[in-house]
Structure 1
Amino acid sequence: MRSTSTLKDTKNYCTAKPSPWFLAVAVGALLVPTAPSVAQATQTTPDQATNRQSLTQGKAMIAPTREELQQLQTRLQNLEQAPVEYGYPSGPGISIATPTGFGASNNIFFLGVGYNDRIRTARSASDGAFTLGYGFFDPRVLAVELSYTVLSTTGRTSPFGSGGFNLKVHHQFSDDFAVAAGWNGFVSIGTNNSNPLLANDLQNTVYVAATGIIHTQENIDAPFSRIALSAGVGGGAFRPVSDIFNGVNSVGVFGSAAIRVIQPISAIVEWTGQDLAAGLSIAPFPNLGFVITPAFRDLAGVSNIPGVIGGARFTIGAGFAFQF
């Protein structure tokens, strides 16, 4: 099974932090004058009478009392002393190849490329793939992700350009929990059906997935501060290799566990439904949506399948995303 590691199924599992403009707006809100009390409005001193007259003419506000000024000063001091965490703007991914409950949304475009040092049916045949897609709508309501994946960049496993369209619908219940349902290869183009192990990468793979984020530390930037757990079930490419080879229509389970080791790096262990994978996801640039994911696949080994060569395979993917 070939795959492309992209940003489409990743979430920066550093929860949102207040930005500098938020602090400025909060301070500005505290400076809005409050309405005068009835007692203040009925004073008859010359200065306040003038203020009251100006107020009725829409030209001025009644000056705050000393007590109100002290309260405002106290509120500003408390706001100034409140801790503000900005976090690492860009974050690493939470899976290697399997779907998660999160997805692209709100006019996010993504592009990903992937490379395998060899395919399962040959020792020396390396290959690559790439995908591009777009996210629509708000995940707090219901978001839709549409993408196209090219299965082979060398033509060794499929004609160049062959691949399929993928659809994913996802809902985010909170910053820390999301669910998704997807259909990979709902339209396939030029796929090679002569070898079921190659053809099944993007043909009629329907799945559901959920992801939860665990906070192990309050500070997002602290080491080992977040753990992301994902699990799902699906047919097609998520079936065991033996069922794919024998043409058995079954359902497989998949899942991943990722821990944010330090700010830009997460370590990931994953079961793809067919094999065990382990790797890293790295966000090298703090202000750019770019992620690199080197990993090893087939760590558990695939045996007793004719034409399948066992042993670990090295893969690396890179993804880039930005919002319009």
Structure 2
Amino acid sequence: MPFVKKSPVLFSISTALNILFPFIGDQVKAETISNKKADALLTITAENPKQIEGIESHPANLMVNGTIPIAIESSADSEKGSPALRRQPTGGERFEPKRIPLRIPLPKQPYRASPSITVINPSAYGASWGSFGIGFGFQERARFIDRSDGVIGLGFGVGNPQKNVGAQIGVSLVDVSSLFRDGAINVKLHRRLPQDFSVALGVQGITTWGDTDGGSSVYGVTTKRFKLRKDRTKPFSEVYTTLGLGGGQFRSESDINNGNETVGVFGSVAVKIIEPVGFVTEWTGQDLTLGLPLVLFRRLPLVIVPAVTDVTGTAGDGTRFVVGVGYSFSF
């Protein structure tokens, strides 16, 4: 089935890149131990009776240089910090070192990505230097048209949002049947602040070519993270709130149809249900969207976001199913 892009508001996969980039490499750190090391055998010998920390050797059967057993006993001198040593009868038995397998519990590999904190709305997070991403967006039907719609997005980051300012540059290709015929360039400047705040200024469609339907949309947005639990791997550990103002696609559908140059309000609330699964509810400036972001693989930075949009019916012609898939990598 051919894709068509006719829709009052562009469902841009650059949004999926906005929410994927900041969480790559920003996971809880965990030391990993190879199976080879975990299965290694550790020999406890007389030359080094303290090879394993935390294991107390019995004082009655220690070896010195592998020959003479000794014992440590209390004496008057030991009260002064000087334990006395005496020879321990061997009984004719020779000490043989024992090989004891060392078993170390392996921690689980941390996820290389986190569930998205928005679906369609941009967040205040963004890509930094060395981050790249690619994504794909699909909707079962565009508004007012009984045909599917798709879009491809590419993006990369420059700068450092923690030290100064980061910039995310994205390209949206809105006609998958002819990739470079219609598209737009999107730019977002973002900064991370203390107390888990982030702010951003951006333009969706700062430059367009062909027929994108979305036009240009300037916006400002802030995102705040609330830590509910110290361990981010535990259920319901975090909540993210996003609030923004913008023109263009963030205006109400009636203002767009009437050509009113107003400013719309958009916002999102995201809950991390478990480490690889989240739930997002958001107001896009026109209608309600509900999504269930998923990270299916621990070691693969791939995020899938199935969602339903236009839930309340204040825009469009009924509820629609949309899905975004984003993959990010860095060097």
Q: CA deviation at 1:17?
A: 3.4
Further displaced range: 180-189 or 88-97: 88-97
Aligned residues of 2:235 and 2:275 also touching (Cα < 8 A): yes
Q: CA deviation at 1:219?
A: 1.3
Aligned pairs (5 A) from 1:1-324: 1=9, 2-4=11-13, 6-10=16-20, 11-12=22-23, 16-20=27-31, 87-122=110-145, 124-140=146-162, 141-154=164-177, 161-174=181-194, 176-191=196-211, 199=213, 201=214, 203-302=215-314, 308=316, 310-324=317-331
TM-score scaled by length of structure 2: 0.69
Query: Hey, which of these two has a bigger chunk of helix by percent?
Result: 1
Higher Rg: 2
What secondary structure sits across from 2:233 in the alignment?
Answer: coil
Cα 1:322–1:237 shift into 2, 3 Å: same
* Aligned-CA RMSD value: 2.4
Structure 2 gaps of 5+ residues are 1-8, 33-80, 82-106
Misfit runs of 4+, over 4 Å? 13-16, 84-87
What secondary structure sits across from 1:96 in the alignment?
Answer: coil
Report how many residues are paired. 246
Further displaced range: 98-107 or 5-14: 5-14
What secondary structure sits across from 2:257 in the alignment?
Answer: helix
Cα 1:295–1:262 shift into 2, 3 Å: same
Query: Hey, which of these two has a bigger chunk of strand by percent?
Result: 2
Structure 1 gaps of 5+ residues are 22-65, 67-83, 193-198
Residues 138-159 of structure 1 deviation map (CA, whole Å, 9 limit, x = unaligned) = 111100111110123247xxx9
CA distance in structure 2 between the partners assigned to 1:120 and 1:154 by the alignment: 19
Q: CA deviation at 1:314?
A: 0.1
Residues 25-62 of structure 1 deviation map (CA, whole Å, 9 limit, x = unaligned) = xxxxxxxxxxxxxxxxxxxxxxxxxxxxxxxxxxxxxx
Residue number in structure 1 paired with 2:64: none
Residue number in structure 2 paired with 1:71: none
CA distance in structure 1 between the partners assigned to 2:242 and 2:220 by the alignment: 11
TM-score scaled by length of structure 1: 0.71
Residue number in structure 1 paired with 2:6: none
Aligned-pair identity in percent equals 34
Residue number in structure 1 paired with 2:54: none
Residue number in structure 2 paired with 1:32: none
Residues 239-260 of structure 1 deviation map (CA, whole Å, 9 limit, x = unaligned) = 0001111111110010111100
